[in-house]
Structure 1
Amino acid sequence: MSLSTTVTLPFLTLPGADAVASPCASDDGISCDLAWRWTQNQTAAELATVLIGRPLAILVLVLGGLLVRWLAGRLIDRMVDRIAAGPLNERRQVRARTMGSLIKSIVTTVIVFVVLLMIISEVGYPIGPIIASAGVVGVAIGFGAQSLVKDYLSGMFMIFEDQYGVGDSVDLGTVVGAVEAVGLRVTRLRDVHGTVWYVRNGEILRVGNQSQNWARTVLDVGVAWNSDLDAVRASLRAVAHELWEDSAYAGVVLEEPEVWGVEALTGETVTMRVTLKTSPGEQSRVARAMRERIKARFDLDGIEMPAPARAATPAAGTRPAGPPPTS
C-alpha cells in the first residue's frame, strides 16, 4: 500500500484541470504549468515555456551572475583595502591592488563561463558535448596561439613575483618609462616624451626596475685638468652634505652622500663622481638639485669646469687650409 499526498492551490486549479494529463515536463518551469491549468491548451503551454519561462530563467541567471560578480568584487576590494591599510610599505600596497585587479579579472571570467553554460543548458542543449568540444578547441587554440598563451603566463608570473607594478619606472629593454597598467597580456608604459607604449608580456626578457626599495643618483662632474682635486672633492662633499641636511629632501636622500673620487681622465677634463642613495623614483629630482648647487658652489670657490672644444675659425683675410680653388 502506498500513500501519496497532493497539495493543490485553489487559485491555480480550474475545474477539469486533472481530466487530461499535463504535457509539461519537469524542466519546463512554472510558466508551462500555469498556462496549462488556465487554458488546458498544449500549444499555449508550450508557447508560455518558450516566450516566458526560458527568457525569464535566462534573465534570472544573468542577474544572479551580476549579483555574484558584484559581491565578489566588494569582497576583494575589502580584502585589498584591509591589506593596504595595514603596517606595510607603499610597495606592498601597490602590489596588493595589482593582485586585487588580477583576482577580479579571473573571477569575472569564471562567472561569465559558468553563466553561459547554465544559459545553454536552460535553452535545452546538452552541455556535456560542448565542454568536451571546448577542450578539443582549447588544445587547438593553444597550438595555434602559443604567443598569446606565453603572454598570459608571463603576465601572471610577473604579477605574482612583483617584478613591477603601476607607477614604477622601468627599463624593459625595448622601452623605458613609467608603468601605467599591468595586464595579463600587455603592459602599458608612458615614456618621458609622453608616448604610450604597449609591450606584450611574453616579449619582455628583462626588467630593470628603478622604483623598488631604493635608488641611486650618480653624478659625473667634469673639472679642468689643472684644478685642485682636494678642493674639488671638498666642494662636492659640502654641496652633497647640504642637500642631505636640507629639510625639503628629508626622506628623499636616504644616506650620507659619498664622493667616490676621480672616475675618468679624458683630454682636458678630470671627471669626479658623486653618489646619493635616494627614495625610489627620486633620483632625477636629486640629480637636478645637485647640478644647480654644484654650479653655484664652483662659481663661489673659483673651480673651473672644462670649456667645450670649439672648431678653429680662420682669421679674417686668410684662406682655409685645403687645395686651391680651381678656375
Structure 2
Amino acid sequence: MTHLYRSVFIFFLCLANMASLPLAAQTVDHPLRPPQTGSPQATLQSFVNAMDEVYVIATGDGARGSDTVLPLRRAAATIDMSAFPAEIRRSQSIEMALMLDEVLDRIGLPDLSTVPSAASELPEKWRIPNTPITISLIDEGPRSGEYLFTSQTAQNIREYYESVRDLPYSNATTPGLYTAYLTTPGPGIALRWSERLPEWSKRTAFDQTYWQWTALFVIALLIVLQFVPILRVSRSVAGAETENQERARRRRQFMTLLGALVLTIAAAWFVDEIVNLTGDTQITVAYALALLRFVLLGWIVIVAGNLCVDLVSWVRGLEQNSAGVLLLTVVSWIVVGLFLFALIVAAAQRFGFPAYSVVTGLGVGGIAIGLGAQALVRDILSGVFFLMDDAFRKGEYVKVGDAMGNVEKISIRSMQLRHHLGAVHTIPYGQIAQVTNFSRDWVIVQLSFTVPYETDPKLIKGKFKEIGEDMMADPAFAESFIEPFKSQGVFDFDDVGMVVRGKFMTKPGEQFTIRAELQARVKAAFDEAGINFARKEVRVAMPDVESATGQSNSEQRAAVAAASASEPSKS
C-alpha cells in the first residue's frame, strides 16, 4: 500500500510539473482590461484580438500555459454563458472560446468595416454572414447593454465545430490552439511545448488523451477509497457502548468527513486545472464531484449539529437521553435543517436550477409531508413544549392518564413508563393531556393508626416524637428526611377507636423505605408502652342463669355458641 501511495504521488507531481514548467513568463500589459463590447464590431474585434494575443504567447519559445489564461478569459468574456450552470460556466467558457475561434479560422472573418459599430445605428443583434453565429444586445442582468455572442451560439458551438473541423484553415488565422488545449495539461496553452510532446501522449479516446483517462481513473479510485474509513467510523459511532466513547468516535467521524471534503475539493481542482478535461467528460466529472462535495457538506453539517449537542451537554453535565439533551437535539435539528435547506438551494443554483423553483418544490413537498404526518408533527411539537416546561425527567415517577411508573426513556416523539410490576407504557406526547409528577423537590407522607378510646393522646405524641428524633439521628435515614416524623394529634373517631395521625417530609423516592421503617418502629414503641391497636370486638351479654334451673355447663356453652353464630359473618 505504501508503494501504491508513493507511485500515485509521483504521478500527480509529474503532471503538476508539466502543467507549470519553470519557464520565463510573458509580460501582460493591463491584465484586468475587459473586452470592448459596446457594439457587434467591438465585440468581434475584441475576440479576435484576444485570440491573436493567445496565439502570439502560445507560440513563443519561452511560453508557459498559464501565460495565456488572461487573454483566453478576455476572449471568453465576449460570450454570453448565462445559459450554462454556474458549476461548469468558468471551465466551459474557455473551451467555447477556443471552438468559436476554430470555427472562425475555417470559415473566415467578415470585413470588419461591414460589421455594425458605435458610429452607425446599432441593431438588437447581428449575425455573421452565412452562419448561425450571432452577436446580440443583452437586455438584463449584470452585463446589460453589452453586445455578446449569444448563449444559443455558445450552446451550439460544439455542433458548429464538428461541422467544420475537417475544413482547411483560412489565411491569417490562429491554427492548432484547440488541439493543443485538448492534449496538454494545466491551464492555458503552450503550443511550442505541446508540439514537442511524444505522439503517444496525444492519442485520444472519446476526446480525451490516454494519460488524462489514467489520471481520472486514479482520482476516481482515491475518491471511492475515501469512503472506506468514512463507513468504518460511522459504524463505530453506532456501535459505541458508552457516552464518552460515542462522543470520541463522533469527533473522529467529523474529522474523517472533513478530510474527505478537502480531498474532493482538491480532486476537482486537479481535474480542472491540471488534467484539463474537456467536453462532455469534463461536465460529467465536474457535476459528479460537485454533487459529492455538497453531500459531504450536508453530512458534515449533520455531524456538526450532533457535536454541538455533545459539547453543550458535556459542559452542562447533562445525562444522555435526558430532557435537556433531547431539547438541545430538537434545536440542533432545526438549525441543521435550515443549513441543509440553504445548502440544497445553493447546490440547485450551482447546477442550473432556479432558486424559486427549488424553494417551491421543497415547500410543496413539506406541505405534503405535513399533511401525511400530522400525528407525528403533533407528537414532536408537543414533546418540545413538555421538554421546555421540564414536566418530567428520566427516572422520575409520574402518572399520565391511567398509566403510572418511572420514566425510563424520553425520545423525540414519545416517552416510556416502567410500571413497578414490569410493564412498559409507551405514550406519544400528542396524547398527553396531563402529567402528574411525584418526584419533584419533596414528598409528604401521612400515617394513620387506630387505638382504643382510652389511650392517652399525649403518650402517643411523645412516642411519635421519640421515633422521629431517633430516625433523624440514624445515619441510614437522616439524609433522606427534610422534616422529621411528628404527631398531628387525633384525626378522627370511628366505631372501634380513635384515629391518630403522624407525618414526615422526605426526598422523592425515599418515602417508601422510610414509611416501612416508621411503621415497624411505631409497632415496637406501642408494644413497649402497652398501647394496643384498636380492633373490632364482639361482646355477648348473657342473662343471669340460676344454678337452680338445673342447666349443665355443656348446655350453657352451647347457648353461648348459638349466640355467637347469630352474628353476621365478616367478609
Provide the TM-score with structure 2 as the length reference: 0.44
The residue number in structure 2 matching 1:117 is: 344
Which stretches in structure 1 are left out of the alignment for 5+ residues? 11-17, 85-92, 322-327
| Corresponding position: 1:192 with 2:417 | no
Report the alpha carbon displacement of residue 157 of structure 1 after superposing the two structures with TM.
1.7
SS at match of 1:157: helix
Q: Give 1 or 2 for the bigger CA radius of gyration.
A: 2
The 1:25–1:156 alpha-carbon spacing in structure 2 relative to 1, beyond 3 Å, is: closer
Contact 1:214 1:277 in 2 (8 A): yes
Matches within 5 A, 1:196-235: 196-235=424-463
- Measured in 2, the distance between the counterparts of 1:120 and 1:54 equals 10
The residue number in structure 2 matching 1:87 is: none
Residue type of the partner of 1:304?
N
Contact 2:393 2:407 in 1 (8 A): yes
Residue type of the partner of 1:151?
D
Report the alpha carbon displacement of residue 9 of structure 1 after superposing the two structures with TM.
5.2
- Measured in 1, the distance between the counterparts of 2:300 and 2:470 equals 59
Contact 1:29 1:49 in 2 (8 A): no
The 1:53–1:31 alpha-carbon spacing in structure 2 relative to 1, beyond 3 Å, is: farther
The residue number in structure 2 matching 1:158 is: 386
From 470, 487, 509, the equivalent of 1:281 is 509
Residue type of the partner of 2:330?
S
Report the alpha carbon displacement of residue 27 of structure 1 after superposing the two structures with TM.
1.5
From 283, 293, 307, the equivalent of 1:60 is 293
- Measured in 2, the distance between the counterparts of 1:55 and 1:264 equals 84
Report the alpha carbon displacement of residue 137 of structure 1 after superposing the two structures with TM.
5.0
Contact 2:398 2:435 in 1 (8 A): yes
SS at match of 2:447: strand
Matches within 5 A, 1:80-119: 80-84=313-317, 98-108=323-333, 110-111=335-336, 114=340, 117=344
Matches within 5 A, 1:166-185: 166-185=394-413
From 284, 297, 305, the equivalent of 2:533 is 305
Which stretches in structure 2 are left out of the alignment for 5+ residues? 1-29, 35-49, 55-63, 68-74, 96-180, 184-203, 209-277, 539-557, 567-571
Contact 1:94 1:165 in 2 (8 A): no
Q: Percent identity?
A: 24
Contact 1:215 1:278 in 2 (8 A): yes
SS at match of 1:275: strand
Equivalenced residue count is: 299
SS at match of 1:288: helix
The 1:137–1:54 alpha-carbon spacing in structure 2 relative to 1, beyond 3 Å, is: closer
- Measured in 1, the distance between the counterparts of 2:280 and 2:493 equals 94
The 1:133–1:75 alpha-carbon spacing in structure 2 relative to 1, beyond 3 Å, is: closer
The 1:189–1:64 alpha-carbon spacing in structure 2 relative to 1, beyond 3 Å, is: same
Report the alpha carbon displacement of residue 316 of structure 1 after superposing the two structures with TM.
9.4
Report the alpha carbon displacement of residue 60 of structure 1 after superposing the two structures with TM.
2.9
The residue number in structure 2 matching 1:90 is: none
- Measured in 1, the distance between the counterparts of 2:507 and 2:409 equals 22
Contact 2:443 2:511 in 1 (8 A): yes
The residue number in structure 1 matching 2:280 is: 46
RMSD: 4.4
Contact 1:186 1:201 in 2 (8 A): yes
SS at match of 1:27: helix
| Corresponding position: 1:28 with 2:255 | no
The residue number in structure 2 matching 1:238 is: 466
Contact 2:383 2:412 in 1 (8 A): yes
- Measured in 1, the distance between the counterparts of 2:446 and 2:65 equals 87
Provide the TM-score with structure 1 as the length reference: 0.71
* Higher deviation after alignment, 300-309 or 111-120: 111-120
Report the alpha carbon displacement of residue 28 of structure 1 after superposing the two structures with TM.
3.5
The 1:95–1:276 alpha-carbon spacing in structure 2 relative to 1, beyond 3 Å, is: farther
- Measured in 2, the distance between the counterparts of 1:132 and 1:213 equals 50
